Amino acid sequence: MLKIINGGIEVLVEDWPGRLGYLGMGMSASGAFDNLALGFANLLVGNSPGEAGLEITGGFLEAQFARDTVIAVTGTDMKPTLNGESLPMWQSVAVNRGDTVKFGHIGEYGFRCYLGVAGGIDVPAYLGSKSTCIFGGYGGFEGRKLAAGDELKLGAPRGALQDLAGRRLKDGVRPDYQRQWQLRAIPGPNTSPDYVTEEGMDLLFSKSFKINHNSNRSAYRLDPLPESFFARPDGGVGGSHPSNILDHAYAIRGALNICGNTPILLIADGPTLGGYMCALNVINADLWKIGQGTPGRDSITFRMVGQQEATEARRAQKELLSEASLA
């Protein structure tokens, strides 16, 4: 069991790939915002990469273990401590019953950190996933962020604790965190010539967009686009603004929704359907970078790629999240 002493700013139970198969019922997939960091945390403690762990946003989580286990912390460096001593990240560490982990604020690079525990966080799966959808208030631990006094059950470790402790990643495996995140993306479904000018698409794939401070697990808002972005004077029967369209499904996770003049990345808990066009889609293998993008501080650029590179990137990421990455 893991007892929460301080729930911090926003700590959620998340897994990967999340709650797939319910987009058509109005439910987004949710899931870890940085699936790569969660995957490494799980790998280090002997779990399958998609097992449920804690996603720590903004920091200040404090929690106590009610049993001996093995943990790993990945993601942004929130200066975690174990019983007041510095806790090394990106490796698995044995903890004893009664030990306390504590996290500071966000790191210099990246925004979210992940706590993996041997055996995973044991919450009931809802519609096939342990992920929390914070906006709908379902999944995860009682459909909400964690608070002081919560007691989380832990799953059964997949090996002897002494074998799971002290595992590290090979050199060069750890992802590189920056303040300028380059996201590979595929254009569509609404591009030039019919919805966006060619000049507008060129801008999308060259400009550096600051992440607006008003961003969350549903939507990452970016700098506004100029009027010259749009190829149409209005949205026809979809509405008066050229970004309007008759309601269509949003290709989440990863769609860049154009809402009025504001481009918005629709991610984990985003809306499944709506009346605004979508100009590009971040490839699946790069979704994790959005989760490490720090609102109000970091920037995003988009690089256009084709299907082949995107599919290859999925394969490479899967390979990365395997025992072969362990030192």
Partner 1 sequence: MKGNKYDVILDTMPETPSRLEILFRQAGDGFLQVEYGREQRAALQDSFRILAVNDIIRARQINGLIETVPGLRTNLFHFDPQALSSADLIAQIKEAEDSMPTIDDVVLESRVIHLPLAFEDSETKKAVQKYVKEVRPDAPNVINGYNLEYMALCNGVTVAEAKNMILGTEWFNSGCGFWPGGAFLWPVDPRCALVVPKYNPPRTWTPEGAAGIGGPCVFTYTTPTGGGYQLFGRTIPTFQFSCKHPIFKEGPFLYRPADRVKFHEVQEQEILDIFDHVHNKTDYRYQIESGQVVAKDYLTWVHSEEVQNGVRELKAKQAEGVRKAPRL
Applying CB under 8 A, which residues contact partner 1? 20-27, 127, 136-138, 143, 186-189, 191-194, 196, 198, 201, 235-238, 245-251, 254-255, 271-274, 278, 281-284, 304, 307, 310-311, 314-315
Within 10 angstroms of residue 189's Cβ, the number of other Cβ atoms is: 16
User: Least CB distance from residue 26 to partner 1, whole Å?
Assistant: 4
* Residue number, 216 or 284, with CB nearest to partner 1: 284
- Each residue of 78-97: b (16+ CB within 10 Å) or e? bebebeeeebebbbbbbbee
Compare residues 99 and 269 and give the one whose CB is closer to partner 1.
269
Instruction: Report the nearest approach of partner 1 to the CB of residue 49 (Å).
Output: 15
Tell me whether residue 81 or residue 197 sits nearer to partner 1 (CB atom): 197
Bridge partners of 151, per DSSP, are 3
By C-beta, is 164 or 256 nearer to partner 1?
256
DSSP-assigned beta bridge partners for residue 54? 13, 115
State the nearest-atom distance from the C-beta of 150 to partner 1, in Å.
Answer: 19
Shortest spacing between CB 320 and partner 1, in angstroms: 15
| Of 204, 282, 281, 190, residue with least CA distance to 242 | 190
The nearest distance, CB 267 to partner 1, in angstroms, is 13
Q: In the complex with partner 1, which residue's Cβ is closer, 62 or 142?
A: 142
Q: How many CB atoms sit inside 10 A of residue 147's CB?
A: 13
Per-position b or e across 10-24, b if 16+ CB within 10 A of its CB: bbbbbbbebbeebbe
Strands 92-95 and 132-133: unpaired
The string of DSSP codes covering 76-92 is S----EETTEEPPSSBE
